[in-house]
Amino acid sequence: MKNILNFFAFSLIAVLLFNSCEDNYSEEDAMRAQQVVDLIISVTDESNFDVAVDSATVKIVIDGVAMEQSTDASGVVVFEDVKIGGNLNVYVSKDNYTTTFTTVNTTPSTYRQTTISANISIYSLADENTATVKGQVTIETDLTNRQKEFIENMEVRAFNYSLPNGAVKAFIASTDSVGKYEIKVPVNANGNDDINVEFAPNVEKERTAGVAHNNIYSVETKNAVYMPEYYNATYISEIPSAVINIEAPGEGGTGFALTTEVDTTSGELTEAIGNYWDSDDMTILASGSGYFPNITGSDTTLWVPFSPDTKGLDTAHVQLTFEKNGGLVSIDGLRDYGVWDGRDAQYMSKPTIDLNIGGGSGAQLYYDFKLDYYVKVSNHGTNYTSLPDVKMTYVVEGVEYVNTYTLGSYAFISEGSIYSYNGNGILSQQIDYDSAPEFTITENNSKQAVAYLGSWTIGSDSTLSDNETWITKGENYDPANPPAVTISALAGYGANAEFYAEVSSSGSLSNIELVNAGSGYVSNINDFENDGSSGQSGEYGYITETYFGNILPGDVLISNAYYGTGDVIEE
């Protein structure tokens, strides 16, 4: 009997728990758990009393993925396990019928609903109750030519909100190879219909244009975004079609090298004057503990020596105060001499200090140590026509610095080799460094000459003048063998111009002389409007017409879109 009672008690608890869970399980929870439904689309012919249309193509787009089916004899397709929630894009098409676009909401009304149904009407193109929307879509993707480009395979939608059977419908077409489209739009016979035309709000395409970087001209192709109804055009520079290319000089001097040597008269521990210490040079890192437990009084001050100097005779001393049976309290002075005044300790490396004294331990000091270094020529090198660039890397008080070493202040060139002015090989003395500075030498001193021809150098007859502008005249050119000069024609505008270079005795170019003025050059390859304009703001897009009212059957409506010159996407 006891077992039977236990069984009934357990069963009662289970029923109560189940009912409790069921009460807390909302319809929203059930719908969330459901997640998918079957989508049933019925396609009918609005031009023929809404009879079913078989063999129509129905395409749905879910998360950017398209799925297609064809209607059966009853005009129906079923897409199984469609994710619920939101509006689903649906396209319906069939030969000799309008291509229709609409949206279907896939949110069920209750969790018991396992299907979503929608009816979509299409119209026969033979129906006389249609208007025609057509036009052309253009864009400026190549600023270096003189005509606009076309956007191919762009979907254009025409909406008629006055049609029967409820849902808003768009009738669509795609542009052809020259950007043209044509859409048949069903309308009512009474002339009260309104039609809206919709183009893509933006497109991303490559844009080709002439560009200038520090007056160096080239043609570049970059990604750009284009919009037909908003100002998005960036300034477009004036870029002449003639580009000067000057041959690089031969390889410059090699082999020059520097070394360093410690100034043995430097190496003092600090910059102390007399018995006084600079607080920036020495600080307490750790106080330690247990120092001088048996002294009389609360603290004691004493001179503590550093390690012996390079000569092994003298040592610097620091005056420290320790608390009784405690730690280091203060630094009170510094002496740079050992056993007698007037004989400074000299170090070639950072000295150490032993603070394990008076029974205590753990005290630590931070202190600077700097040396002076002579910079010397270790290899004079060969074939130099100008002094090389030298970079010096050095450390002061733990911080690394990089500077240009002014070699020209200390050295000169003789027969291609580099020597110090003072004749002993020493160039300079570098003072107060933590360690020896390091030198990086640019071995090749050759520099290519660079010049450019501005728009003003191109005459009205499309020929060139020799009014070039220099960026650099170069270094290490051979006066007996001037470099070759060639003229590149950007975007194919111009040909046959010739220049001759002249080199001075210093190895730099002194002149570029025009030999042949050529022909066919333009002052601005980016003159996409072909009106002789110089640098200008780009063109913004436009749509000629997006709204048409009071449309009657047979009306022809023109809507053109131009996406402008775009805005380059920075990478």
| Tens-level pLDDT at each residue, the chain (571 residues) | 334 334 344 344 344 444 444 455 455 555 455 588 889 999 998 888 889 999 999 999 888 888 999 999 999 999 998 888 778 889 999 999 988 888 898 888 876 788 888 898 888 888 888 999 999 999 999 999 999 999 999 999 999 988 876 556 799 999 999 999 999 999 988 888 899 999 999 999 999 999 999 889 999 999 999 999 876 677 899 999 999 999 999 777 889 999 998 887 776 554 332 333 444 568 899 999 999 999 999 999 999 988 887 777 778 888 999 999 999 999 988 776 654 455 677 777 788 999 999 999 999 998 877 888 999 999 999 877 778 889 999 998 888 999 999 998 999 988 878 999 987 889 999 988 888 999 999 775 688 999 999 999 999 899 999 889 999 999 888 787 899 999 999 999 999 999 999 998 778 999 999 999 999 999 999 999 888 877 778 888 999 999 999 999 999 999 999 999 999 987 6
Closest CA to 304 of 295, 293, 315, 296: 315
| Single-letter code of the amino acid located at 300 | T
Element (H, E) at 57: strand 57-62
How far apart are alpha carbons 488 and 245 in whole angstroms? 7
Closest CA to 130 of 47, 191, 186, 194: 186
The set of residues, in sequence order, having a beta carbon less than 8 Å from that of 140 and lying 6+ positions away, is 148, 149, 207, 528, 538, 539, 563, 564, 565, 566
Number of Cβ within 10 Å of residue 541's Cβ equals 24
Q: With helix as H, strand as E and coil as C, how does 316-346 read?
A: CEEEEEEECCECEEEEEEEECECCCCCCECC
Give the pLDDT confidence score for residue 8 in this predicted structure.
41
Closest CA to 156 of 133, 172, 169: 172
The segment(s) of the chain belonging to CATH 2.60.40.1120 are: 32-122
Number of Cβ within 10 Å of residue 371's Cβ equals 22
Q: What's the count of helices (H) and strands (E) in the chain, helices before strands?
A: 2, 42
Element (H, E) at 33: helix 27-34
Q: What's the CATH number of domain 32-122, 2.60.40.1120, 3.30.565.10, 3.90.1150.10, 3.30.1370.100?
A: 2.60.40.1120
| Single-letter code of the amino acid located at 157 | R
How far apart are alpha carbons 467 and 34 in whole angstroms? 78
> What DSSP assignment string belongs to 133-185?
EEEEEEE--BTTSSS-EE--S-EEEEEETT-SSSS-EEEEEE--TTSEEEEEE
How far apart are alpha carbons 85 and 312 in whole angstroms? 88
Q: Evaluate whether 401 touches 393 at the Cβ level (below 8 Å).
A: yes
The set of residues, in sequence order, having a beta carbon less than 8 Å from that of 280 and lying 6+ positions away, is 368
Q: β-pairing, 130-139 with 149-150?
A: antiparallel
Give the pLDDT confidence score for residue 314 in this predicted structure.
73
